[in-house]
Amino acid sequence: MMALESIKTIANIGAGTMGHATALQFALKGYSVNLLDTSVDVLQEGIARMREDLSSYVKVGLVKAEEVDGIIANIHPTVSYEEGLEEADFVIESIVENLAVKKEVWQKVEKLVGPETILATNTSGLSPTKIAKFLEKPERFLVAHFYNPAHLMPLVEVVPAEKTNSAVVQTTVDLMNHIGKHAVALQKEAPGFVGNRIQAAVIRECLSIMQQGIATPETIDDIVKYSLGLRWSILGPVMSADLGGLDVFNTIITYLTTEISNEVGENALLVQKVKEGHFGQKSGQGFYDWQGEKGQELIDYRNQKLLAALVDEKKDK
């Protein structure tokens, strides 16, 4: 199987929100990246977004201004799969979250790459085993799940499919760490992987708290931001439980599990929001008002905080 030292050329399928950012991570490390998408316009938009991301890096000293053009020069946009997959050692895909579409793309990819090429999907929740069953060599297929925004979030979840070779998992972890991400490998796949499972559990309880009239969205967010979120960003929830005392947590969980939400399926509050067309930031209204300058200020604030954390992490390494 392909080792880290043998990986020279990356094929990055998709130049959108996630795809442009994953391609940039490899280009930053000096890899030659073939960027594939369905149209020249989409590819040009992806390159423009990369330049915006690099501009934010320059402002905080992660990249020098004179390095930007050289980094972009590592990106080779194309609409041709034959050209884009030529000599590819590692392929990563960030396209629509649709199993049928991914099946079609990966069957096409497998016919054009070498026998040792590693194949990775950047899905946030689809089963890698369900995708891999359409492939002739499922043992070289897995998930490399970047978190959004991928140019600011360090984590990559590496998730094996049922037949994924352990060497493929290790090489993928090594590659992700090599480009400066923080890669973790799951022991096996599970719906939602790990991050989304934890997020879903937390959001479910937040919705339940709102529905019961216990607290407003603003209060819930403040409680998480200034306590749990801060603590977990340093040590994580499991280590924090160790520090707090497992006997204490045993007592808390024993009486709280009868009180917290165990609702399954759709949540009535979310269903109502969706029916009203209140999707959050992308529609201008969710639990918060995202319209006008205030909404953009919140996004900019989030990005600035993530950039600062990224700078601190790089300093620690």
pTM, rounded to two decimals: 0.94
Q: Say what percent of the chain tops pLDDT 90.
A: 96
Asked if 109 contacts 119 with a C-beta cutoff of 8 angstroms, the reply is: yes
Within 8 A by CB and 6+ apart from 16, the residues are 37, 42, 46, 94, 95
- Residue-wise pLDDT for 112-163, tens only, equals 999 999 999 999 989 999 999 999 999 999 999 999 999 999 999 999 999 9
**What's the rounded Cα separation, in Å, for the pair 118 and 125?**
20
- Residue-wise pLDDT for 87-101, tens only, equals 999 999 999 999 999
Q: Give the pLDDT score at 130.
A: 96
Q: Say what percent of the chain tops pLDDT 70.
A: 99
**What's the rounded Cα separation, in Å, for the pair 27 and 117?**
19
**What's the rounded Cα separation, in Å, for the pair 134 and 307?**
39
- Residue-wise pLDDT for 270-308, tens only, equals 999 999 999 999 999 999 999 989 899 999 999 999 999
Question: On the CB side of 34, how many CA atoms lie within 13 Å of its CA?
Answer: 20
Mean pLDDT for the chain? Answer: 96
**What's the rounded Cα separation, in Å, for the pair 15 and 40?**
10
Asked if 145 contacts 159 with a C-beta cutoff of 8 angstroms, the reply is: yes
The structure tokens listed for 234 are 């340093």
Q: Is residue 231 pLDDT above 90, yes or no? A: yes
Q: Give the pLDDT score at 163.
A: 97
Q: Is residue 314 pLDDT above 90, yes or no? A: no
For 120, phi then psi, to 5°, come to -130, 135
Within 8 A by CB and 6+ apart from 157, the residues are 143, 144, 145, 184, 186, 193, 194, 195
Q: Is residue 315 pLDDT above 90, yes or no? A: no
Q: Give the pLDDT score at 21.
A: 98
Q: Is residue 16 pLDDT above 80, yes or no? A: yes
For 230, phi then psi, to 5°, come to -65, -45
